[in-house]
Each structure stands twice: as C-alpha cells, then as structure tokens.
Amino acid sequence: MRRRPFALTGSAVVVVLALAACAPAVPTPAPAPAPVVAPAALTPGQSSRVLEDLGTVLAAADKKLDEDLLAPRVEEPALSMRGAEYLRADATDGDRAPTTLPTTAAATIVPRTQDWPRTQLVVTEQPADLQAPRILVLRQDDPRSQYKLWGWSRLLPSISMPRTAKPEVGSPVVAPDSDELTVSPQDAIDQYADVLTKGKKSSHDDAFEPNASRDEIEALRARNEKAVKGSGTYDESYTPEGDPVVSLGTIDGGAIVVGQLTALAKTTLTLDGATVPISDKFYQALSGKKTAKKSFVRTSTDIVVLYVPRKGSDEKMSVLAFESVITAAKAS
C-alpha cells in the first residue's frame, strides 16, 4: 500500500512537468536592424526641448544682462556676441537692447549623424518687432554636453531658404572639404571672406549673388573711409575662423554652410594731433577710452550662412543670413 502514495506523487510530478513543458521559452531581444543610414540626431521633441531650454536660459540672462547665466546653453562665439550685447545694453542703459532671439522654430534642419559634434540649424519665427527671422546654430560638442547656442544669424531680406529634409529624417552632413559642391564649404567661407574684404576687387566677386548685407557692409566702409580721409586710413578685413561649423545638405544636392568670420575694422590716424573721439558709450565701454590718438580697432564676430549649390550647378553661391556683432574695440 505504501507504493500508492509514491505512484500518485510520481504521476503528479509527471503531470506537472508535462504542463510545465507547455510554458513558452524565455523571450530574447529582437532589436530592430541597425539603420543603414544614421538617423536624425534629434527628434523633433528633442529639438523643441532644446529650444525651450535655450529660451529659458536666454530669458534669464537677458533679464539680468548676465553673461554668466548663458553658460548652460550658449557657447562661443555666441557667448561673446551675447556678452557684448549685454555690455552694450548696459552701457547704453538699455537703449540698445540685445538682439532678439526667438526660440520658436519655424523650421529645423537636423543633421543626420551619430557622431559629435552635432549641429542643427533652427530657423525661428519672425520676432515680435518684425525683424528678420533668425537662424540659430545649436551645437553639441560631445555626448555628455548639451546643445548650446553656437551663434545666430539673421535672414537677409528677399531670400528664400533652400528646401531641406524633414527634421524627422535629417539632413546629411557635408564634409568641409566635400567636392560634391561647386565649392567646398571651407572654400566657400574663405571666398566670401575675401569678397567682403576686397569688395569688387575680389576674384570671387561674381561667385556670389549680391546681397543686402554685403551692400550694407560696403556702404558702411565707404562712409568710414570717407570720414577718416585726410587724417588717416580705414581698413576692414574679414577672416574665417576655422572650418565652417556645419554644412548640411539640401534636397537639391547643395548645402547650407555656416561659418564664422572675424572682422577687423581698423582706423589709423596718420595726421599728427588728430584724434578720434569715441563717443559711443558702447565703444567706450569696450575700449575703456573716450578717444583714440593713434588707432582704433573694432572687432566684429560675424556669422554667415551660405548656400552652396551642388557641383555642376549654374547657380551662384548666395548668402542666406549674416550677422555681425561688435565684440571688441581697442583704442590706442
């Protein structure tokens, strides 16, 4: 009789095991295949979050005109530019307020990359004061960094932005030395710097469509030259700062190239006894002087956004946006 219990337990065990055998196997990860093409570096959500955060930071800093508050979301050269504007605003008691920087995106050009640094361009809505829309250049230098405002530029009048890919898809990143364009991004920036420096004497003068910012620059130069004439000289030079920060391909095969130029406007007094009064409080604040006896050097940080057509195109390069902020002045 003792056997029965054993038999029962035995059969029970068998049944249990049989039922247990019916249990499904442990699931294993089945990830989506690795993308052939890198996805957009930022999702629209991430982009808007970055902008929102940026707006918050700018608002806080603008309110106190405190450059230090910009650190979390603003980096060079924008940091210097914004700092100069704060200084200017402070020097002029708010008469010349910092450039309005909307943080609401009208369009976003997202790089399609998995590498760093990553740079995205944001075309903002038109500011409330009906100024030209801005192009914000947001850049993430490394994985553990945040996207920060690298620079901004303002769209030139009567230009149209080339069509770019949807932000969900992302735009291809064009290498600085790419040969798929009429001119490599690097060369494009160099050439435009040359044009701005030399004007119509530049060999690349006809490589660029005429644009309002260049006209303005030349007009200002002519006026300054005229003012100094007889007592000194006036020179302007534009120098590209390193490689273009970013080049993002457009749908038509061209590229939007963003570069930084450093402009030096140097007034040299050749006439003895002549002085240049520094009436502008901003300049006074920058240079710390009210008059310049020998020379007065004004440094601008310029952000230029070019459109470079694809190779073989008959189009000329054009300037989409240009922004120049005087970041330094030196009187001697």
Partner 1 sequence: MPQRVITASVGVAGLVVIGLGVASATVWKADDVLVATAPAGSAIVTTAPGVLELGGDPVTVRATTAGGAPVVLAVGRENDVTSWVGTDAHDEVTGLSGWHDLAVDRVKAGEPTAAPSSDASPNASASPKGSASPKASASAKASPSASAASEASDDASTADDPTDSDLWVAQATGKGSAQLVWPAQDGRWSLIAVGTGDAAPVLQMSWPRVVTTPWLWPLVVLGTLMVLVAGALLGRDLYRRRTGTQDPEWHDVTTGTIALVGENGAPLTRRQLREAELARSGRPRTGSVPRVEAPTSGSTPAVEAAREQTTTGAVPSSATSSSATSSSAAAASAAGGVDRASQVAPAGPPRARDDQPGAGSAPTAPPASSPASAPTAAIPTTRRALRTGAIPTVAAGTPTRPDDARPAASGPDGWSGTASDAASGLPGDQQPPTSARRTVSAPGWLSGAGRRPVEPPTQTPTGAGAPDISSAQTAAIPATGWTPVPSTTPGTPGVQGPTSTQGPTSTQGPTNAGAPGAPGATRAPGGAPAADAGRATHRPAWLAPGAPTPAPGEARPTAGEQSTTDAPTGQAASRADAWRRAWGLPAQPDDPPADQDGSTTEVDR
Can you say whether residue 230 is alpha, beta or left, with left for phi > 0 and alpha for psi between -120 and 50 degrees? left
With contacts defined by CB under 8 A, how many residues of the chain interact with partner 1?
37
CB of 147 to partner 1, least distance (A): 5
Q: Pattern 60-99, binding to partner 1, x per CB under 8 A?
A: ----------------------------------------
Cβ contact 154:323 at 8 Å: yes
**Regarding beta strands 291-292 and 246-249, do their DSSP bridges make them parallel or antiparallel, or are they unpaired?**
unpaired
Q: Does 39 bind partner 1 (CB under 8 A)?
A: yes
Cβ contact 138:245 at 8 Å: no
Stretch that binds partner 1, among 46-54, 85-93, 193-201, 256-264 (CB under 8 A): 46-54
Q: Does 44 bind partner 1 (CB under 8 A)?
A: no
Q: Which of residues 129-148 bind partner 1 (CB under 8 A)?
A: 140, 142-144, 146-147
Tally of helices (H runs) and strands (E runs) in the chain? 6, 11
CB of 145 to partner 1, least distance (A): 9
CB of 41 to partner 1, least distance (A): 9
Alpha-carbon Rg for the chain in angstroms: 29
Q: Which residues pair with 36 in a beta bridge?
A: none
Q: Does 206 bind partner 1 (CB under 8 A)?
A: no
Q: Which is nearer to partner 1, 67 or 141 (CB)?
A: 141
**Tokens at 181, concatenated:** 């364009």
Q: Distance between CA 246 and CA 178 in Å, rounded?
A: 12
**Regarding beta strands 232-240 and 148-155, do their DSSP bridges make them parallel or antiparallel, or are they unpaired?**
unpaired
Q: Does 32 bind partner 1 (CB under 8 A)?
A: yes
State the DSSP string of 118-184: EEEEEEEPPPTT-PPPEEEEEEE-STTSPPEEEEEEEEPTT--PPP---TTT-BPBPPTT-SSBSS-
Stretch that binds partner 1, among 78-86, 110-118, 207-215, 226-234 (CB under 8 A): 110-118
Stretch that binds partner 1, among 13-21, 123-131, 187-195, 316-324 (CB under 8 A): 13-21
Q: Can you give the binding site for partner 1, defined by CB under 8 A?
A: 15, 19-20, 22-24, 26-32, 34-36, 38-39, 42-43, 45-46, 49-50, 113-117, 140, 142-144, 146-147, 173, 175
